[in-house]
Structure 1
Amino acid sequence: MSHDLQVPRPAHHTTDSKPPAKRLRGDLQGLRAIAILTVLAAHAGVSWFAGGFVGVDVFFVISGFLITQQLVGELGRTGRVSLRRFYARRARRILPAATLTLAATVVAAVLLLGPAQVAPLAVDAVWASAFAANIRMTISGTDYFQAELPPSPVQHFWSLAVEEQFYLVWPLVALICVVLATRIGATRRGEPGSARARRLLLAAIALITVASLAWSVVHTPGEATAAYFSSLTRAWELGIGAALAILVTSGRVMQRLAAARWAREVLVLAGLAAILLACLAYDDSTPFPGYHAALPVLGSAAVILAGALPSGETTLGARLLSVPPMRAIGDWSFSLYLWHWPLLVVPEIALQRELTWPERGLAVAGAFVLAYVSFRLVEAPFREGTLWRPTRRALTFYPVSIALVAAIAFGGTAYADFEATRGSYQPAVTLADAPAADPSLDRREALVRASVLAARDDTPIPTKLRPALTELDSLKPHRTRCDYTDDTERDLCVDGDPDGEKTMVVFGNSHALHWVPTLNRVAKKHGFRVYFLVKNRCVSASITTDRGEEKDPYTECDDFNRWAFKQFKRIDPDLTVVSTAPPIQGVFDKDGTWVGDTRRVDELMRPAYTRFLRKVEKHTGRTVLIRDIQAFDSNAGTCLSRPGATLGDCLLGTDEERERSIDVQVRAAKKVGVDVVDMSSYFCWDGSCPAVVGDTITHYDDTHMSHQYAPQLARPLARRMGLSGRG
């Protein structure tokens, strides 16, 4: 089946499919330079340029313009659009440099990071090679537990995925427009088919752009992470560039622009000012993309439109953009974008701290060096050389790229797994390593003390950890049968013993969720039907919190808590368990003012906990508050997977500020008369917290208990809840 569709052409139109030589616009290369420099500034942590992430949006507009310009140019020259040539050009343009970066990043991770980081990175790299990084990042980012881990070294490939997903659809739309133009031509004579196709293209891209913009505006406020990475919320940005490429083929539009020199000056300067304003005014708390993206997008479109005429490059703004250094950075911009992120992220993961300013400067300088080398030795030769010029040969880049990255990822994971168990066998910590027996301690508490002493002796990490470091994701707390992440579906699900004669209700957020394996075992042994009314980030207190990332009220959490309490009263449980983490960032006082100062938040939380617990006490036989577990001052899995690490390197401390916040809920519980269960001795002893107890990693991340450790605490928790020997 042919991938070329032709529309009727005027008799004088050439049939030569070879495109004429094109003048490379210096102002566009300069605009590319601005885009990458703003992204670099934001990612390097330049605080007054926090909105530099809008450089990606500038790239989207430029890309939409240039790619559509190619499609329209091909349509005008030949009367047809070739999918094969289109995707061959894309393959030569992006795959060699992208594949090299992915492969190099995986290899660097194997050499510099531990097994815990290599395994997920390998998966991320394969997703990225298949142009699905944005889908992978959406899944990870909307997963509360995954989102708290360090960012992936290939996270920046999400924008490349958005572009390629757009270009999977846009050329197909162009073909449909060509078909329609051909059929219209059968009944309407005297008009070039390519002109009809361009009008249909403009109508199609206008429809796509409006629909995508509406979707973005609607979904960004409530689904920040998913909206940020989504092709549906970003397509309109590429659509603006595409529409611009079609419009500039109109003689009428260009005649008016050519006649107004002052208009071109205003357009380019206003466009640059809009991009700069977005960089300075926006930050991580800005809901994005949504309507906020209009500022850099329209600013980019203005700059592109102003330079669409040959004389457009004589404007002041265009001359500034076209200076040699800007054009050079624009040439390297794609490679610079690919290299800068792993050079900033991989060292931070390896060092387990933020980079200093000199270190960030060194990383950025390294990105420039690699970008130059990559452009000269990889990008330019593959794009402009003759070796991969044939269309069929270029199209083989796609399967070859995925296969190559997958092979390196698999090999990297296998090597990391081998390294994790390399060397002499190291046994797990046992009770034989414990101090003198204390009759008040149970076996698990004694093992915690033994693990602390082993770590203080700098004992090697046990060879057989539960789980293996390459399987760290399995530490993540498991969800209940009812997953209340989706606010549109709220059902009651019975856990524990479905036939039990007693009922238990569990309130809380993710810090109730990590007790699910423990409480399910307790419930099955003691005959409780359990209802886990828990939702991530929803604090069990009578107060409105923020979303954790933005200073907006988490109204969905308020709605869930109201619904959950209504179900709770209907259940009329025998036992209610509350386990909740403090607010992540801030809360809103009774006047609706956001409060972020930690001590002020604690002052507001004490009466909020008290009010909530008093309401609970009215509708249950008994209430138990499980004191929130210790939060570590660093990530246990990351520490354990560092090359050469010992248990001593991963003897962690607690977050003192968080401990103060946890004590607030304990004091509130005691004021109401609620029983408090403190499981701290199963995580820490004598001011030290081992990352491994026996052979089990205790925490999934800094604050959540691992799925493997939780079941081991079922018997101690039941005893401290006063359930031993009952039912």
Structure 2
Amino acid sequence: MSSGISDPSPARTAPTKAPATRLRRDVQGLRAVAILTVLAAHAGVSWFAGGYVGVDVFFVISGFLITQQLVGELARSGRISLRRFYARRARRILPAATLTLAVTVVAAVVLLGPAQVAPLTLDAVWASAFAANIRMAIAGTDYFQAELPPSPVQHFWSLAVEEQFYLVWPLVALLCIVLATRIGASRGADSGAERGGESSVRARRLLLAAIALITVASLLWSVVHTPAEATSAYFSSLTRAWELGIGAGLAILVTSGRVMQRLAAARFLREILVIGGLAAILLACLTYDESTPFPGYQAALPVLGSAAVILAGAVPSGDSTIGARLLSVPPMQAIGDWSFSLYLWHWPLLVMPEIVLQRDLIWTERSVAVTAAVVLAYLSFRFVEAPFRERTVWRPTWRALTFYPVSIALVVTTAFGGRVYADFEATRGSFQPAISLASASPADPSLDEQQALVRASVIAARGNTPIPTELRPALTELDKLKPRRTKCDYTDDTVRDLCVDGDPDGKKTMVVFGNSHALHWVPTLNRIGKKHGFKVYFLVKNRCVSASITTDRGGDEHDPYTECDDFNRWAFKEYKRLDADLTVVSTAPPIKGVFDEDDRWVGEKDEINELMRPAYTDFLKRVDRHTKRTVLIRDIQGFDANAGTCLSRPGATLGDCVMKPVESRETAIDVQVDAAKEVGVDAVDMNSYFCWDGSCPAVVGDTITHYDGTHMSRQYAPRLTEPLARELGIRDRE
């Protein structure tokens, strides 16, 4: 199979050779700027919160340098070899990346519990296949995973974006060469030399047109998609391709002799470009933060700033500018050399200690982590990156290409070993039975069986009883705790359907209003519906509070959640047509804040509670007018700790994972109950099925009760079917 496409003319002579690519010390210094900004942001330097734009600087640099290689090869030989291209990429990135992934998995096995090791092994496999951005976008857009700690290999998303771009871009380049060759042949050039030279120029023009089209399309998609789907846009190759395209277009543009002549003659312009470009990057670092919608048009500031710096140094005399001299000092050159390895190592060193400690690192701990990252980066560059790039033993193209399957195989093997060890660790030691009622004698006749099991579980935990061996679910399968969505998933704001759950042939109708805290009752209410003959309609939407008030989206930007308002209006319109026999409301309080009648955002807890009481009251009154009976399920207690994470800590016992309610949240929940009393609506309190005597066990019997701090687990919900039916006053079918 051909590794490239060249001019087919038998009389072709070598086209004019392009000048040798010189070492761009300013670009190497720009790499240092990129990694230092990223490092500052991830290390928690508050005034450098926008340092994540360093990734965008990397994208521009990569687009420029890789395209410069492609265009240079085209100028020298009239062709582009895919095999050599991907061999260069393999030597450049795979050794260090593979080492980082393997070491991170091994470190997780040693330091973390099985609950963290299991998902990390899957993340590592995605990362090895250059698909980490897809994996992170899926996880990041899942509401129930939003509060989980970030993956120690999450930073591989940017590497995935680059490699996905370079999977497509060389193929586009080959297509341009084919078109240029055929256009030249159709015009009947007089000689092979003339045909080869013109084809090379024509191919570069087609390349410039192609990258311009890709860049514009990607930029438009980024601008449109970022406000609507911020998380998926952040990780998407489609919203980031234009940043690499800017660098690629710049690499093609500077091959123009006319452009280079004008640039060489304009020293003052070069000074403005490099200083202005660095200032633009710095401005983004200082003014952007986590609340900035990104990438979108906001990414243009660091992207164009990077392009300006690169353009300023495109001529040999560009090295003499003030900015280029600053970028070329030895420390910046050294950090630029280590930048790739430093990027690989810094993130797991900052994230994994926080997972182990279950808290944010203090500044001294972050300083130690950053120092360790620098040391590892030097060692990785010195003994891994450089040898694989420079030693002749790895120069043959076929050997370099074997890095791809070998890399994936090594990571998959390490991940598989980590998962096997996690499974073993989860059930390590002698068999420990599930907690039973016999664990708490004498019995308390005032409690039903499930409440008595909660009491027994608290008593067992207070006695530091070992964690049961056969948990539901296993500690390596904690994702199964996540509440299951309904048939009609209203996460997508375009979905406006009614779906029947419960008993589709039932003669009675139950309607459920709420947000994700109604969703975690789905297994319970569905079973009640099937057993007692209810059609069940779940009008629930994540983050959407069932109250007559506009809330924010739960982020730091304090944007009104207008989609929730639209959904509540639609849901209520449909609800009035259903003629419900029973309406159940279960909703969590607002996450961050609400908007008052003057559209002023309110974030102080006492003020929120004052506004929420009439908002709940009005909602319940409107609901109660169109149903035979309304019941509010008091929101279950929430905790600061994560049950699954606590249980998976090495050496943990049930006693280590006894949780207590968050007082401020309980106050907000009490507002719901007060509103129900005002309206005359029954309020059901199920907290005795989670806690006893002020203590809340992470495990009741053999079942983990919570998915996270506030959501009931999918496995525990069915155990409350009979208790909730009794509390709702539902009798068996007649």
TM-score, length basis structure 1: 0.98
Does structure 1 residue 611 correspond to structure 2 residue 610?
Answer: no
Q: What are the Cα deviations for residues 130-160 of structure 1, in whole angstroms up to 9, with x where unaligned?
A: 0000100111011111222111111111000
Secondary structure at the residue paired with 2:665?
Answer: helix
Secondary structure at the residue paired with 1:187?
Answer: helix
Aligned to 2:214: 208
- 1:458-497 → structure 2 map (5 Å cutoff): 458-497=464-503
**Alignment partners' CA distance in 2, 1:507 and 1:374:** 55
Structure 1 runs of 4+ with >3 Å offset: 7-16, 19-22, 187-191, 724-727
Q: What are the Cα deviations for residues 627-665 of structure 1, in whole angstroms up to 9, with x where unaligned?
A: 111111111111100111111111112222211111111
Aligned to 2:455: 449
Aligned to 1:308: 314
> 1:7·1:194 contact (CA, 8 Å) conserved in 2?
no
> 2:15·2:75 contact (CA, 8 Å) conserved in 1?
no
Aligned to 1:104: 103
Does structure 1 residue 505 correspond to structure 2 residue 504?
Answer: no
**Alignment partners' CA distance in 1, 2:103 and 2:542:** 36
Counterpart amino acid of 2:258? Answer: R
Q: CA deviation at 1:317?
A: 0.7
Aligned to 1:621: 628
**Alignment partners' CA distance in 2, 1:27 and 1:78:** 28
Counterpart amino acid of 2:649? Answer: R
**Alignment partners' CA distance in 2, 1:73 and 1:546:** 52
Q: CA deviation at 1:230?
A: 0.4
**Residue number among 602, 606, 610 corresponding to 1:599 in the alignment:** 606
Q: What are the Cα deviations for residues 198-253 of structure 1, in whole angstroms up to 9, with x where unaligned?
A: 00000000000000000000010010101000000000000000001001111111
Aligned to 1:552: 559
Aligned to 1:358: 364
**Residue number among 700, 710, 715 corresponding to 2:717 in the alignment:** 710
Aligned to 1:25: 24
Q: CA deviation at 1:14?
A: 5.7
Does structure 1 residue 643 correspond to structure 2 residue 650?
Answer: yes
Aligned to 2:425: 419
> 1:8·1:192 contact (CA, 8 Å) conserved in 2?
no
- 1:172-211 → structure 2 map (5 Å cutoff): 172-188=171-187, 189=189, 192-211=198-217
Aligned to 2:382: 376
Counterpart amino acid of 2:416? Answer: F
Identity over aligned pairs, percent:
81
Aligned to 1:231: 237
**Alignment partners' CA distance in 1, 2:606 and 2:168:** 52
Q: CA deviation at 1:436?
A: 3.3
Note the aligned Cα RMSD (angstroms).
1.5
> 1:128·1:157 contact (CA, 8 Å) conserved in 2?
yes
Secondary structure at the residue paired with 2:227?
Answer: coil
Q: CA deviation at 1:438?
A: 2.4
Q: 1:341 to 1:472 in 2, by over 3 A?
A: same
Does structure 1 residue 253 correspond to structure 2 residue 276?
Answer: no
Counterpart amino acid of 1:211? Answer: A
Q: CA deviation at 1:12?
A: 6.4
Q: What are the Cα deviations for residues 417-437 of structure 1, in whole angstroms up to 9, with x where unaligned?
A: 111111111111111122533
Q: What are the Cα deviations for residues 670-699 of structure 1, in whole angstroms up to 9, with x where unaligned?
A: 111111111111111222111111111000
**Alignment partners' CA distance in 2, 1:692 and 1:616:** 36
Counterpart amino acid of 2:3? Answer: H
Aligned to 2:401: 395
Q: What are the Cα deviations for residues 443-476 of structure 1, in whole angstroms up to 9, with x where unaligned?
A: 1111111111111111111111111101111111
Does structure 1 residue 518 correspond to structure 2 residue 519?
Answer: no
Aligned to 1:6: 6
Counterpart amino acid of 1:232? Answer: L
Q: CA deviation at 1:596?
A: 2.1
**Alignment partners' CA distance in 2, 1:323 and 1:263:** 22
Secondary structure at the residue paired with 2:460?
Answer: helix
Q: CA deviation at 1:31?
A: 0.8
**Residue number among 536, 549, 552 corresponding to 1:543 in the alignment:** 549
**Alignment partners' CA distance in 2, 1:255 and 1:412:** 57
Aligned to 1:68: 67
Q: CA deviation at 1:192?
A: 1.7
**Alignment partners' CA distance in 2, 1:15 and 1:403:** 43
Does structure 1 residue 274 correspond to structure 2 residue 287?
Answer: no
Q: CA deviation at 1:725?
A: 4.6
> 2:16·2:75 contact (CA, 8 Å) conserved in 1?
no
> 2:483·2:713 contact (CA, 8 Å) conserved in 1?
yes
**Alignment partners' CA distance in 2, 1:8 and 1:468:** 62
- 1:155-174 → structure 2 map (5 Å cutoff): 155-174=154-173
Q: What are the Cα deviations for residues 554-613 of structure 1, in whole angstroms up to 9, with x where unaligned?
A: 222222222111111111211111111111112222222222222222222222111111
Q: CA deviation at 1:542?
A: 1.4
**Alignment partners' CA distance in 1, 2:21 and 2:246:** 22
**Alignment partners' CA distance in 1, 2:52 and 2:16:** 44
**Alignment partners' CA distance in 1, 2:574 and 2:441:** 48
> 1:220·1:288 contact (CA, 8 Å) conserved in 2?
yes
**Alignment partners' CA distance in 2, 1:446 and 1:7:** 83
**Residue number among 649, 660, 684 corresponding to 1:677 in the alignment:** 684
**Alignment partners' CA distance in 1, 2:35 and 2:593:** 33
**Residue number among 395, 407, 413 corresponding to 1:407 in the alignment:** 413
Counterpart amino acid of 1:290? Answer: G
> 2:113·2:422 contact (CA, 8 Å) conserved in 1?
yes
Counterpart amino acid of 1:685? Answer: W
Does structure 1 residue 117 correspond to structure 2 residue 97?
Answer: no
**Alignment partners' CA distance in 2, 1:381 and 1:609:** 66
Secondary structure at the residue paired with 1:504?
Answer: strand
**Alignment partners' CA distance in 2, 1:99 and 1:322:** 30
Q: CA deviation at 1:8?
A: 7.8
**Alignment partners' CA distance in 2, 1:333 and 1:139:** 28
> 1:627·1:679 contact (CA, 8 Å) conserved in 2?
yes
Does structure 1 residue 719 correspond to structure 2 residue 726?
Answer: yes
Where do 5+ consecutive residues of structure 1 fail to align? none
TM-score, length basis structure 2: 0.97
**Alignment partners' CA distance in 2, 1:661 and 1:581:** 9
Counterpart amino acid of 1:396? Answer: T
**Alignment partners' CA distance in 2, 1:602 and 1:386:** 70
Secondary structure at the residue paired with 2:558?
Answer: coil
**Alignment partners' CA distance in 2, 1:561 and 1:102:** 45
Counterpart amino acid of 2:14? Answer: H
Does structure 1 residue 79 correspond to structure 2 residue 78?
Answer: yes
Aligned to 2:338: 332
Where do 5+ consecutive residues of structure 2 fail to align? none
Aligned to 1:292: 298
**Alignment partners' CA distance in 1, 2:244 and 2:398:** 27
> 1:56·1:159 contact (CA, 8 Å) conserved in 2?
yes
**Alignment partners' CA distance in 2, 1:627 and 1:375:** 57
> 1:8·1:79 contact (CA, 8 Å) conserved in 2?
no
**Alignment partners' CA distance in 1, 2:611 and 2:266:** 60
Q: What are the Cα deviations for residues 323-342 of structure 1, in whole angstroms up to 9, with x where unaligned?
A: 10011011111110111111
Secondary structure at the residue paired with 2:535?
Answer: strand
> 2:227·2:293 contact (CA, 8 Å) conserved in 1?
yes
> 1:382·1:388 contact (CA, 8 Å) conserved in 2?
yes
> 1:8·1:194 contact (CA, 8 Å) conserved in 2?
no
Q: CA deviation at 1:15?
A: 9.3
Secondary structure at the residue paired with 1:192?
Answer: helix
Q: What are the Cα deviations for residues 3-33 of structure 1, in whole angstroms up to 9, with x where unaligned?
A: 31124899763699xx976432111111111
